[in-house]
Amino acid sequence: MKHVFRKGTDLKAPTLLLLHGTGGDENDLLPLASRLYPGASVLSVRGNVLENGMPRFFRRLAEGVFDEEDLIFRTKELNDFLDQAALEYQFDRDHVVAVGYSNGANIAGSLLFHYQDALSGAILYHPMVPRRGIPLPDLSRVPIFISAGKNDPICSPQETEELVRLFEGAQAPVQVHWTSFGHQLTGAEVDASAGWLRKAFDLD
């Protein structure tokens, strides 16, 4: 998978896995990393799927309708890539926090749904429920930050609340930050998630 890796100065901090939204690439979220925690190592990945020339992490059948078979395949692809990248770049595979926006948040959510040890935490900006009707692994040791728009036209508040219930049903500690700026990712969300990250992983 096309990617950028930057080694951090604080090796006790989690590696931040940056996952862009539809039409983005591996450079899109790099400015967020320094705002979240400048000492962290960063692995920023580009999705392998193209939709009308725009990179994504998995196919969809329509707006809000995921291609479930492709989602499962691409989730395994990303999980396997993380295993390989950890060996190549010598970061702790058991200490990775995903930072995903929109489509990137959805593939991060899918990692959590499918693989118990894929992530040690997650920051999900405007995520949807990746799959329904499957058992989730034990996520009791995986803190999750979710930001969502009360007026998001793509991801309704009801969808967000359903996702929170699913994560909490898997025993994950979840913090939700609400905004009123639609599907847009705002500076206030980034600041709130930065504060959460420092507290959840004792980075202060």
With bands split at pLDDT 50, 70 and 90, how would you rate the model's confidence at 146? very high
Q: Residue 9 pLDDT more than 90?
A: yes
pLDDT value of position 150: 96
Residue 20 falls in the annotated catalytic set: no
Place of tokens 């309708």: 65
Q: Is 114 helix (H, G, I), strand (E, B) or coil?
A: helix
* Cα distances (angstroms) measured from residue 141 to each of 116, 118, 119, 122: 10, 12, 10, 11
From the candidates 20, 147, 152, 193, give the one annotated as an active-site residue: 152
Tokens of 77: 């692809």
Give the model confidence (pLDDT) of 25-72 as tens digits.
999 999 999 999 999 999 999 999 999 999 999 998 888 789 999 999
* Domain count of the fold of the chain: 1
| Residue 51 identity | E
Q: Residue 148 pLDDT more than 80?
A: yes
From the candidates 102, 110, 120, 147, give the one annotated as an active-site residue: 102
Place of tokens 């940056």: 18
Greatest CA separation for the chain = 43
| Residue 11 identity | L
Count the helices and strands in the chain (H runs, E runs): 5, 11
Q: What is the mean pLDDT of residues 90-99?
A: 98
Tokens of 180: 């009123």
**Whole-prediction pTM:** 0.97
Q: Is residue 65 packed enough to be buried (19+ CB in 10 Å), middle (13-18) or exposed (0-12)? A: exposed
pLDDT value of position 65: 86
Tokens of 54: 């725009």
pLDDT value of position 204: 76
Tell me how far the alpha carbon of residue 104 is from its chain's centroid: 6
Give the model confidence (pLDDT) of 67-87 as tens digits.
999 999 999 999 999 999 999
Give phi and psi for 188, each to the nearest 5: -65, -35
CATH code where residue 150 lies = 3.40.50.1820
Give the model confidence (pLDDT) of 167-201 as tens digits.
999 999 999 999 999 999 999 999 999 999 999 99
Residue 183 falls in the annotated catalytic set: yes
pLDDT value of position 18: 98
Domain that holds residue 21: 3-200
